[in-house]
């Protein structure tokens, strides 16, 4: 099973361009999701600098850099349903700039405040253009109770909202980059920016079964609430960048597991995951 070669129809692409996101349900089969879910648990238990905890210091919030750890996730980023779709949306060969698994644990997974992604990568990594696409794979069902992603449809068309960096590291001792990953997010949008962005566009949640793929623009205003459900909401997220959009030099490059500088084009996986 290669996950299907072309999954995005013209209608999907139209929705993506208009709304800044599109969800395609049931792309990756349950058997593969089971293996990916088990591998995610293995990575959550591994001591690695890319592993981040919630404010309680013990609940895993996420793992960064999973596209270069173990065997399964490095293969997943090459699955045609993800890779060929990213190439289609960016009209280019691509590589993975950043990759993570967000755990959003049952009854404890914390919020992601309202933000846009592009400003992080522009300011911290030297990303020149928003010629990137986020591809999220639901490793659990996302429903209205377990902290689904929330989007302001069409907000990507308003461009980047220039907000001040919060700059707080979670415990005052963590490295500078850690505050991009915690619930006290760098470049979180203030209440007025959020109100202005929402305007009359409203807010939509991205809910769907495990195995669904969600594509979203790096400039869309998005967030997620706490997980109030007894069920985890595990989300795999790969950010594909066009190979033509090479990172500029920055004074303090973040570790490779947060901002890849190897922009060799990915080749599609032609066998089973």
Of 129-188, which residues contact ligand SIN (CB under 6 A)? 149
Distance CA 246, CA 241 (A): 8
Residue recorded with tokens 């173990």: 70
Which partner from the list Mn ion, ligand SIN, none does 152 bind, CB cut-off 5 to 8 Å by kind?
Answer: none
Which partner from the list Mn ion, ligand SIN, none does 269 bind, CB cut-off 5 to 8 Å by kind?
Answer: none
Rg of the chain in Å (alpha carbons): 17
Contact flag: residue 117 with Mn ion (CB under 5 A):
yes
Which one of 40-48, 113-121, 240-248, 255-263 is the stretch in contact with Mn ion (CB under 5 A)?
A: 113-121
Q: How far is the CB of 237 from ligand SIN (least distance, A)?
A: 6
- The H or E element containing residue 22 is strand 21-24
Q: Give the residue with the Cβ less far from ligand SIN, 39 or 232.
A: 232
Of 48-67, which residues contact ligand SIN (CB under 6 A)? none
Size of the site for ligand SIN (CB under 6 A): 7
Q: Give the residue with the Cβ less far from ligand SIN, 4 or 209.
A: 209
Of 204-243, which residues contact ligand SIN (CB under 6 A)? 222, 224, 235, 237
Select the residue whose beta carbon is closest to ligand SIN and give its number. 224
Do residues 80 and 269 touch, judged by C-beta distance below 8 A?
Answer: yes
Q: Characterize the bridge pairing of strands 204-206 and 213-217.
A: unpaired
Evaluated on CA atoms 105, 58, 168, 50, the torsion sign reads negative
Q: Give the residue with the Cβ less far from ligand SIN, 150 or 157.
A: 150
Q: How far is the CB of 70 from Mn ion (least distance, A)?
A: 24
Across the beta sheet with 112-115, the strand order is 112-115, 222-224, 149-151, 204-206
Lookup: tokens for 199: 């305007």
- The H or E element containing residue 163 is none
Distance CA 208, CA 89 (A): 22
Residues that bind Mn ion (CB under 5 A): 117
Residues that bind ligand SIN (CB under 6 A): 102, 112, 149, 222, 224, 235, 237
């Amino acid at each position: 099973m290669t996950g299907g070669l072309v999954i995005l129809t013209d209608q999907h692409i139209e929705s993506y361009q208009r709304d800044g996101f599109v969800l395609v349900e049931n792309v990756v089969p349950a058997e593969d999701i089971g293996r990916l879910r088990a591998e995610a648990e293995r990575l959550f238990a591994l001591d690695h600098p890319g592993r981040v905890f919630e404010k309680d210091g013990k609940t895993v919030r996420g793992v960064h850099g999973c596209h270069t750890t173990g065997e399964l996730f490095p293969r997943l980023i090459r699955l045609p349903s993800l890779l060929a779709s990213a190439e289609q949306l960016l009209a280019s060969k691509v590589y993975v700039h950043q990759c993570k698994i967000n755990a959003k644990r049952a009854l404890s997974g914390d919020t992601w405040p309202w933000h846009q992604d592009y400003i992080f990568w522009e300011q911290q990594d030297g990303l020149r253009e928003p010629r990137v696409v986020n591809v999220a794979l639901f490793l659990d069902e996302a429903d209205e109770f377990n902290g689904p992603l929330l989007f302001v449809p069409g907000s990507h068309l308003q461009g980047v909202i220039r907000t001040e960096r919060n700059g707080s590291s979670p415990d005052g001792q963590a490295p500078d980059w850690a505050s991009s990953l915690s619930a006290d997010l760098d470049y979180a949008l203030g209440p007025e920016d959020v109100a202005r962005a929402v305007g009359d566009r409203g807010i939509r949640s991205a809910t769907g079964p495990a195995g669904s793929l969600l594509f979203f623009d790096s400039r869309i205003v998005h967030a997620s609430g706490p997980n109030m459900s007894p069920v985890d909401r595990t989300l795999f997220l790969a950010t594909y960048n066009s190979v033509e959009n090479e990172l500029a030099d920055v004074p303090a490059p973040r570790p490779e597991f947060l901002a890849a500088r190897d922009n060799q084009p990915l080749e599609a996986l032609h066998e089973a995951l």
